[in-house]
Amino acid sequence: MIPDWMKEINAGPCECSVVYHGKKSFIGRTIEEIFEFIETSFIAESYSRRKGLLQSLDPRIKLISIIAVVFATALVANLRILILVYFLSALIAYLSKIEVRFFIKRVWLFIPIFSAIIVLPMIFNIFFPGDPLIQLIYLGPGAHIGPFPLPESVYITRQGVYAASVFIMRVATCVSAIVLLFLTTPQQMLFKSVSSVGVPKIYVLTLGMTYRYIFLLTSLVREMYIAKRARTIKSRSMFEEQKWVGGRIGYTLMRSLDISEKVHMAMISRGFNGDFKTMEEFKMRKRDYIAGAASLALSIVLVATSQNIFRWT
């Protein structure tokens, strides 16, 4: 005879669980960010299979061309030229079947914003003198902080804003070019192209294994968190949560070492000699030469501009 309470079906979480009350610990938030990273990575892989402008080019040409453009862009100090190159990268992203909104978000999410924080002090006359643009506060004569004297007025300088804008746009433009390379090139083809241009195999192999282990270890972390959450009846203190995380970090390290040893032995037993084997072979076509020549010409123009060989009014 089965008791009546065992016949009741409740598909939702228990009322005493953390899930029921909608509370999320720092572990849950971290896991959600990991899942978001994996999802974004899979979305990025899908762009490389689309039929667009950059997807149709040889990966070696893309790698060399983008590196040349990034190097040339890093030398440019003209804001209008940097903006022009950035919009050119957005146009190439559109022609490569990449949503412009996703592309802009991918570029400006972290690196340029972090660069803006770095260059923020240079817009004030306290650090770099210049022509006043916006006055912030009047300190009066004789103002100082300890032994350091201060100017009578603290203001934003015109030269500082321009220099900060140049630095931020330079970083954004270079990051845009790198993002285009990663979004439009399959991971295995990208590593193979890096190896084909003279990068030592040991570095390429380490990079490829690191890329794969990121997803493997995040999957392991996900399984541990789901197992813990399935057994959680009530929330615990922050100290206990941090203690659990510390233990899982040690376990993940030992597990990764064990997996790496087994994977290495399996690769050696199957005749691995350090070469990447892919089903696709590199083949240069007419459009690859045209794209390479165009990127080389653009790089030369940018370098010439940075050296004042060409002057832009």
The string of pLDDT tens digits covering residues 52-80 is 888 888 888 898 999 999 999 988 888 88
Above pLDDT 70, what percent of the chain? 78
Q: Do residues 143 and 149 make contact, with C-beta atoms less than 8 angstroms apart? A: yes
Strands 144-145 and 148-149: antiparallel
Most confident segment among 38-52, 117-131, 162-176, 191-205? 162-176
> Mapping DSSP to helix (H, G, I), strand (E, B) and coil, where does residue 191 land?
helix
- Taking the model in full, what pTM does it have? 0.69
Could you tell me the pLDDT band of residue 19, with boundaries at 50, 70 and 90?
very low
**Cα gap 128→143, rounded to integer Å:** 17
Identify the residue with better confidence: 252 or 90.
90
**Cα gap 119→139, rounded to integer Å:** 23
**Cα gap 256→44, rounded to integer Å:** 26
- Give 3-state DSSP helix, strand, coil % of the chain, rounded to 5: 65, 5, 30
Q: Do residues 124 and 160 make contact, with C-beta atoms less than 8 angstroms apart? A: yes
Taking CA atoms, 108 is separated from 27, 111, 129, 171, in Å, by 26, 7, 29, 10
